[in-house]
Amino acid sequence: MAELADAHDSKSCDGNIVWVRFPPSAPMLTIILGIVGVIGYLYISWRTLRENYQEEDIIAFSWVSLLLFLIGGKISFGLFNWGVWGGEITPWLEFWKLSQINVAGAYFLLSLFTFLIAKDKNWKVWAFFEDSLLSVVFLLVVLLVILKSWMLLISLLGAVILTIPMKGKYRSLVWYKSGRKGFLFFWMMMWFWLIYTGVSRTWWMGGIGLLFLGGLFMLAYDKLSK
């Protein structure tokens, strides 16, 4: 008898037995999670942004940002792991292979596009970052599960837990004088980097968290451009 972790289910089809593997193999699980991530990101982005922005702009933004997220992750993976594809060009274009994605590069290109599109459309930049936070967090969680980047995932979920209570309350904070949207973005990024610094013991990364703390206070006193 096969072990429970390697169990199989069988189905009869015209007298033949079709074996279905359970649980699904790693490649199949990656595909399933990838599909969930793509559909979930597009839906959440549309659902959370449509009330404050033109729907056609949001649909276009969601698709392009998703594509750039994958492209940025693939290119940065190739650059940080130079020679991993043995000089072949094709792997650089296979952005759908989520197991070969660099999270930092993916998020950087998505954030850069978010900033540029907000500027181009005359949207309030930091408000748009806050409004799109939920969809981006969902996409990152799915990717981190696929990559089994547990320290990053713990840091992200920890930051989310510390951010949820602040939603709808940060405008009442005495020190947050401007009351402007964007607080949740800076708050969550600050905690993400501080938690990751402790979990990974990469102490210099705490400086990144302090930069977001500085940005938060600049936003509080209305010193950041809108």
Q: Are 134 and 97 in contact (CB under 8 A)?
A: no
Can you give the pLDDT at residue 10? Answer: 42
**Segment holding 11, helix H or strand E:** strand 8-13
Instruction: Tell me, yes or no, whether 225 and 158 share the same domain.
Output: yes
> What total number of domains does the chain contain?
2
Can you give the pLDDT at residue 21? Answer: 52
Instruction: Tell me, yes or no, whether 50 and 134 share the same domain.
Output: yes
Left if phi > 0, otherwise alpha if psi is -120 to 50, otherwise beta: which for 186?
alpha
Can you give the pLDDT at residue 86? Answer: 80
Can you give the pLDDT at residue 178? Answer: 85
Angle at 144 between CA 142 and CA 145, to 5 degrees: 65
Phi, psi of 149 (to 5 degrees): -90, 80
Can you give the pLDDT at residue 24? Answer: 60
Can you give the pLDDT at residue 173? Answer: 87
Q: Which residues of the chain have pLDDT under 70?
A: 1-25, 223-226
For residue 69, how many other CB atoms are within 10 A of its CB? 27
Question: Among 163, 140, 135, which Cα is nearest to 49's?
Answer: 135
Instruction: Tell me, yes or no, whether 136 and 163 share the same domain.
Output: no
| Tokens 């390697």 belong to residue | 6
Query: Domain limits at 223?
Result: 153-226
Domain C-terminal end among 148, 165, 192:
148
**Coil, strand, or helix at residue 121?**
coil
10 occurs within a structural domain: no
Residue 11 forms beta bridges with which residues? 18
Instruction: Tell me, yes or no, whether 57 and 134 share the same domain.
Output: yes
Domain C-terminal end among 148, 181, 198:
148
Can you give the pLDDT at residue 3? Answer: 38
